[in-house]
Amino acid sequence: MTQIDAPAMAAAPAAASQAAATAWPILLSMSFCHLLNDMMQALVPAIYPILKENFHLDFTEIGIITLTYMMAACLFQPAVGLYTDLRPKPYSLVFGMGFTLAGLVSLSLAGTYAWLLVSVALIGCGSAIFHPEASRVARMASGGRFGLAQSVFQVGGNVGSAVGPLMAAFIILPWGQKSVALFAGAALLAALILAQIGHWYAARQAERAARPAKARPELGLSRNTVVAAIAVLVSLSFAKGFYVSSITSYFQFYAIERFHVSVREAQMMLFAFAAAVAAGTFLGGPLGDRFGRRAVLWFSMLGALPFSLALPYADLRMTLVLVMCVGVVIASTFSVIVVYAQELLPGKSGLVAGVFFGLSFGVSGIGAAVLGRVADLTSIAAVYQICSFLPLIGLLVVFLPDLRSLEKRP
């Protein structure tokens, strides 16, 4: 063997090992289950026009439905993440999907407002169990490409959120509230896939337990700096979640009231926004890996500002363009925020995922309730005039440490 061939032969196994490091079948399966999970969750706001008519609800009562669902998801997620950081539960994902299934069947049969609230709370509990552990599995399958893995996982959820309004438009709208039960089949399919992923997860945990733990690199940040950075990330999540909640909960009513479109046309506009959010989410993680997470956060928050400011004053065609632009740009924050926080708090990926997924749900629920009251007291158009300034919170990114430069220090 020549001296030229030897390095090439040595490099080949290393390259093969690197390529095999990302467990793509697991990552894509998790993304698909996230799609099914969030599609089922997205049915709740997508059928608000149906529920509003069936139960004679006002906007405040609709906001309370969202608040109930979101708070059920919000309050449990950090607890689930912390618990599973200490005691990983490979099959908890299947258990969580059972809550979602029960909630869907209950929602299809609900005959009173209180029953509706119980049903959406069950769906919220399923989400609380799913997201922290699913995010951990995505990180385990990443092969070190954490931003990419989080984006692939998260984009499944965003596609599901986009598909939900379509399912409502073409299945639930013609067939009524009882047809929600048909989506129990999606919950069963997800549970079967998650059971197989649970086998992989359990085997991976056994392998890790048999290996000596690797020392984690220190970033050299003080406790106060880490706390301040987490506070900034929480603020960014608040702004993003509040704005997205204004679209998912009330944009259908805004389009119907202002532009006199049909319910189905309004749901299609909501689908367009959700599809744009999915595209933005997918781009965020890889861009964060490539250019640094801080740079992506600068762009994704302040870059959405011109579009959000113009939205309340646009005509129908331009409204659709602007809402999609906002969706693409602002959605790139979430996967970047989660990975950034996991890097600030190494070894606590479940807790971080639980906190930020939970925060996303909690802020969305509070936002829906507050904005519903604003809409009742003023107008639905005022909601978007108020929310148009939320991306300005992106200025807080200036206080985030540049982790990329810290990692490169000798």
Residue 179 included in any domain: yes
Q: How far is CA 150 from the centre of its chain?
A: 10
Residue 83 included in any domain: yes
Q: Comparing C-alpha atoms, which of 18, 293, 295, 292 is closest to residue 142?
A: 18
Please count the CA atoms within 13 angstroms of the CA of 404 that sit on its side-chain side: 9
Residue 1 included in any domain: no
Looking at residue 209, its pLDDT comes to 67
Looking at residue 407, its pLDDT comes to 56
Residue 306 included in any domain: yes
Distance CA 252, CA 322 (A): 15
Distance CA 292, CA 202 (A): 33
Distance CA 132, CA 350 (A): 5
Residue 42 contacts residue 163 (beta carbons within 8 Å): yes
pLDDT tens digits along 232-261: 998 998 898 889 889 988 898 999 999 999
Residue 363 included in any domain: yes
Number of domains in the chain: 1
Residue given tokens 């990330």 in the structure block = 233
| Entry pTM | 0.70
Q: Which amino acid appears at position 365 of this protein?
A: G
- Residue 196: CB atoms within 10 A of its CB come to 13
Token pair in block for residue 81:
């993440």
Query: How many helices (DSSP H) and strands (DSSP E) are in the chain?
Result: 18, 0
Distance CA 130, CA 143 (A): 22
Residue 335 contacts residue 147 (beta carbons within 8 Å): yes
Looking at residue 17, its pLDDT comes to 41
Residue 38 included in any domain: yes
Residue 387 contacts residue 251 (beta carbons within 8 Å): no
Q: What is the number of residues in the chain?
A: 410
- Residue 165: CB atoms within 10 A of its CB come to 29
pLDDT tens digits along 51-70: 888 899 888 898 888 888 87
Structural domain harbouring 67: 24-207+222-404
Q: How far is CA 357 from the centre of its chain?
A: 6
CATH of the domain at 320: 1.20.1250.20
Residue given tokens 């090439």 in the structure block = 8
Residues of the chain with pLDDT under 70: 1-20, 209-219, 360-362, 364-365, 405-410
Residue 136 contacts residue 200 (beta carbons within 8 Å): no
Residue 305 included in any domain: yes
Distance CA 304, CA 242 (A): 14
Residue 217 included in any domain: no
